[in-house]
Amino acid sequence: MPLPPPPQDVLSREFLAARSLLLEAAAALDRVDRAGQLDQSEEASRLVKAAGLLADAKGPGRADRLQELFSLPYDPDWRSHFGV
């Protein structure tokens, strides 16, 4: 089994793509702000929480926490809702 690459190599490989995605997210939030005052919005609230998760989270699992934030709660009866 091959050894995992050194952390600096992973960061170097991922840096530009991650930077681009963060800039894109910041630009989207700026566009929302420029559009005017937004009433209480669940979507806006989730985006702010997501940014906080990224800023505060340490270690692996950030993607899982973001996915949970943006996902609907589990519905054990989901099959009947979709006719499966």
Token pair of 17, please?
């793509």
Q: Residue 62 has what pLDDT?
A: 93
Q: Residue 40 has what pLDDT?
A: 81
Token pair of 43, please?
């979507």
The pLDDT tens digits along the chain (84 residues) read: 999 999 999 999 999 999 999 999 999 989 988 998 877 888 988 998 999 999 888 888 999 999 999 998 999 998 998 888
80 vs 50: CA distance, rounded Å: 31
Where does residue 47 fall: left (phi above 0), alpha (psi -120 to 50 degrees), or beta otherwise?
alpha
Q: Residue 10 has what pLDDT?
A: 96
60 vs 36: CA distance, rounded Å: 36
